Structure 1
Amino acid sequence: MSGVTLNKAIKKYGDVQVIHGIDLEIDHGEFCVFVGPSGCGKSTLLRMIAGLEDTTDGQIHIGDRDVTTMDPSQRGVAMVFQTYALYPHMTVKQNMGFGLKMNGHPKSVIEEKVAEASRILKLDEYLSRKPAALSGGQRQRVSIGRAIVRGPEVFLFDEPLSNLDAELRVEMRVEIARLHREIGATMIYVTHDQVEAMTLADKIVVLRAGVIEQVGAPMELYRDPDNKFVAGFIGSPAMNFISGQVQKTNVKIGATGDTLKHKLPSPYHGRVVTIGLRPEFITIDPTGDTFSVEISESLGGVSYVHLRADNGEKLIAEQRGDIRSNEGDRVGISFDRDTVMYFDTDSEKRIRI
């Protein structure tokens, strides 16, 4: 079994600590995605697992092996980068088999493994081409194929689709999901793309400033975030945050004047809290007069309407169908009150009711 376990993993560059005692278990065969803002440490953590960055303190295990100080070539991992890193003078077939050739594998074994990888990735017709004759998506498939032929215990992907256009990203996302289903290997994937994380992952690890904020299945994080950061980071468009005044048996929303019949814990009575509303649970009432429409972004079957309340707070509402809102319109909103979330304004922790 080749899961990955991190035990109090720390990374420092001199006096600067960038990874702060990470504890994490990734099960064998799981597709785990690291997400977080730029500089949060997700690529550093991936490179620590690969052995491309030294681990300052703590342990990393792959299966039952402690690989903390092991050379990258001995860890049983293969890494796919966003830059493809293909040899331009070699054919697809030569690129995919080069690592095995350098390690002294027999030609027959190389032929067999390259053939199997090209079948999985549908690269048979491109084997004699050189990278310059391939599209970006095809080059990335070759890069993935080069990883497959090594037969690693763990696949590591560092933002592999970020150099592709939107259409190719969708295509390659499907390819990677299919690849995971077919070979069943443990995969760890770094991305800043919400859609990639939500559609590919069995488990998402949300990182901020070198610390894990929350770990869980995609819809678990979406529906039940532990704090405001996770709530705002998971989901696109992001969750709306507005203020509310807590009373003994209800909460009054500052932006709309609505009163929510929710009883928060007594320490919050009289305090201001942060209210979270998902855009898809907000309905625009064209007969209302609470918000001003700043801009409406139409994507065809769905529109995102940016609203500003008279107190300056902003919301994004998702509209479907032929409903139209124009810049400068005055509108009201309604929303599903069962979907409202509350957060402590100071600590940003979720207030559960």
Structure 2
Amino acid sequence: MSGVVLSNVVKRFGEVEVIRGVDLTVDHGEFCVFVGPSGCGKSTLLRMVAGLEATSGGSIRIGSRDVTAADPSERGVAMVFQTYALYPHMTVAENMGFGLKMTGHPKSEIDTKVAEAARILKLDPLLARKPKALSGGQRQRVAIGRAIVRGPEVFLFDEPLSNLDAELRVEMRVEIARLHREIGATMIYVTHDQVEAMTLADKIVVLRAGRVEQVGKPLDLYHDPDNRFVAGFIGSPAMNFVAARMNADGTLLAPGISDAQVQGPNVSSHAGSVVLGVRPQHLLLQDGASHRVDMIEALGGVSYIHLVASTGEKIVVEQRDDAIARIGDSVGLRFEADKAFLFAADEAGLRLR
């Protein structure tokens, strides 16, 4: 069994602590995605698992082995980077088998493993080509194939789709998901794109400033976020946040939005300033003049109406009918009370349950 266990893992660069006591378990065969904004520490954490960054504190285990101080070559991992890093003078087959060749594996074994990886990745017709004759998506598949032939216990992906255009990103997401289903290996994947995280992951780890904000299944994080940061990061378009006030009787007062009775066993205990969170699909336009239509994204089956409130807050509303407001119109808003989230108004923004 080749899961990964991080125990109170810390990383410092001089006096600056960039990974702050991370505890995490990735089960054998699980597809785990590290997600978060730029600078949150997700790539650094992945590189620590790979052994490319030394651990300043805590421990890392892969399977039954403590690999905290082990050399990268001894960890049983293979890493796919953002850049393809293929040898331009070698064919696809030679690129995929080069690592095994350098470690002295017999040619027959290398050929067998390369052929199997090529079958999995549908690279069979391309084995004789050189990288310059491949598309971006094909080059990334070769880089993944190079990892597969090593037969690692754990696959590590560091934003592997960042250099691809939108269509290829979708195609490669499907390829990576299919690869995981076929080989069943433990995979840890880093991305800043929460759509990639939602579509690929068995488990998402949301990071902010070197700390784990929440860990869970994609839909669990979407429907039950622990704080305002997770609620705003998971979901596209992002959740709307509006300053509001909760009365002791459970009435929520949000400027420019219809009053509503918010349900919950402890609503009265949260009386005072709160932050109302509502996803774009749970907001409805109505008559009124509290919000100005600033921009419209008409995408065909769905439109996103960007509003600016009289208080200056920006709000996005999703519409799926043809009754689209016009830029410059003044509109009112109401929301589905049972779909609303309440958060503390302080910096931590913890969920009020």
Shift of 1:149: 0.3
Which letter maps to 2:217? A
Match of 1:164 in 2: 164
Match of 1:279 in 2: 280
What is the SS of the residue equivalent to 1:162? coil
Match of 1:175 in 2: 175
CA RMSD of aligned residues (A): 1.2
CA shift in 2, pair 1:230/1:88, >3 Å = same
Confirm or deny that 1:235 pairs with 2:243.
no
Distance (Å, rounded) in 2 between the aligned partners of 1:260 and 1:179: 47
What is the SS of the residue equivalent to 2:255? coil
Confirm or deny that 1:268 pairs with 2:270.
yes
What is the SS of the residue equivalent to 1:289? strand
Unaligned runs of 5+ in 2: none
Question: Contact (CA 8 Å) 2:248, 2:269: kept in 1 or not?
Answer: no
Match of 2:208 in 1: 208
1:33-67 deviation digits (Å, cap 9, x = unpaired): 00011100000000000000000111000011000
Match of 2:57 in 1: 57
Question: Contact (CA 8 Å) 2:281, 2:319: kept in 1 or not?
Answer: yes
Q: TM-score, normalised by structure 2?
A: 0.97
Stretch deviating more after TM superposition (289-298 or 99-108): 289-298
Distance (Å, rounded) in 1 between the aligned partners of 2:258 and 2:93: 64
Match of 2:73 in 1: 73
Shift of 1:212: 0.2
Question: Contact (CA 8 Å) 1:255, 1:313: kept in 2 or not?
Answer: no
1:124-143 deviation digits (Å, cap 9, x = unpaired): 11100110110000000000
Q: How does 1:218-257 map to 2 (within 5 A)?
A: 218-257=218-257
Confirm or deny that 1:4 pairs with 2:4.
yes
Match of 2:350 in 1: 349
What is the SS of the residue equivalent to 2:85? coil
Stretch deviating more after TM superposition (331-340 or 89-98): 331-340
Distance (Å, rounded) in 2 between the aligned partners of 1:303 and 1:348: 29
CA shift in 2, pair 1:23/1:89, >3 Å = same
Match of 2:135 in 1: 135
Question: Contact (CA 8 Å) 1:243, 1:253: kept in 2 or not?
Answer: no
Q: TM-score, normalised by structure 1?
A: 0.97
What is the SS of the residue equivalent to 1:219? helix
Which letter maps to 1:196? E
User: How many residue pairs are counted as aligned between the two chains?
Assistant: 350
Shift of 1:267: 4.6
Unaligned runs of 5+ in 1: none
